[in-house]
Structure 1
């Protein structure tokens, strides 16, 4: 009886590992071994970069981390 319970315990512990090691692959990887790469359209990429407007003010990523210091020229 102990052997049956031990065998069932081993089967139940190995079941999730078997599910992770499934033999099926996605259909895109079956042909050639690698998924297909998307095509890059260089003209569309450059046109999209040109449509981005230039910022008027220089961006300061640390502006929230620095304490505000009053301007000393106004005295």
Structure 2
């Protein structure tokens, strides 16, 4: 009987953190979502497009694998 009581107590202690993770706050969740949406900065499409136009075009194309492989293929020697 003592062993069963100890086992039940240990299982109860292990279940407490799992139970706490499943709890949610009551109310207020809708209010916080509305506040988060209001605090986001508004995107100005005209300013965004103007900023993209100010980015200069690169003179040579970017090669992400340029470091991993040589620029020219190796010539075959016989």
Shared fold per TM-score greater than 0.5: yes
Residue 67 of structure 2 corresponds to which residue in structure 1?
64
Give how far 1:59 is off. 1.0
Task: State the Cα RMSD in Å.
Answer: 3.0
Structure 1: gaps (5+ residues): none
Which string of whole-angstrom CA distances, capped at 9 and with x for unpartnered residues, describes residues 33-65 of structure 1? 775273322122112212212111111122112
Does residue 33 of structure 2 align to residue 30 of structure 1?
no
* 1:21 is aligned to 2:44: no
Q: Which has the higher contact order (CA 8 A, sep 6+)?
A: 1
1:8 to 2:6 alignment: no
Match of 1:40 in 2: 43
Gaps of 5+ in 2: none
Pairs aligned (count): 69
Cα deviation for residue 14 of structure 1 reads 0.7
User: Structure 1 runs of 4+ off > 3 angstroms?
Assistant: none
- Equivalent of 1:53, from 47, 50, 56? 56
